[in-house]
């Protein structure tokens, strides 16, 4: 594992971003996925696939921030 140094201010900013992603963005995208499911067949549901992709990108960002904060 590699280490890197950041200021307290930068760490606080990352923690705030992580909190926002988990408490605001994740529920918002979950709602979009739920709404898109109601549009019908998931195989051909562009809204559903777009929302799932957004969620995957969000989860990647959350994981990256958690890793940086842990170091």
Average pLDDT of span 21-30: 98
Whole-number percent of the chain with pLDDT over 70? 97
Q: Is the pLDDT of residue 61 over 80?
A: yes
pTM: 0.85
Architecture of domain 8-70: Orthogonal Bundle (1.10)
CA 3 – CA 70 distance, rounded (Å): 10
CA 43 – CA 63 distance, rounded (Å): 28
CA 12 – CA 65 distance, rounded (Å): 12
The token pair that represents 61 in the structure block:
């960002």
Domain boundaries, the chain: 8-70
C-alpha distances (whole Å) from 60 to each of 11, 26, 39, 44 are 18, 12, 26, 25
């Amino acid at each position: 594992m590699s280490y890197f140094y950041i200021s307290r201010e930068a760490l606080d900013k990352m923690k705030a971003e992580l909190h926002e992603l988990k408490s605001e963005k994740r529920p918002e995208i979950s709602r979009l996925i739920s709404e898109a499911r109601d549009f019908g067949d998931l195989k051909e549901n562009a809204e559903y696939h777009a929302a799932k992709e957004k969620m995957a990108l969000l989860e990647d960002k959350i994981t990256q921030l958690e890793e940086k904060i842990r170091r």
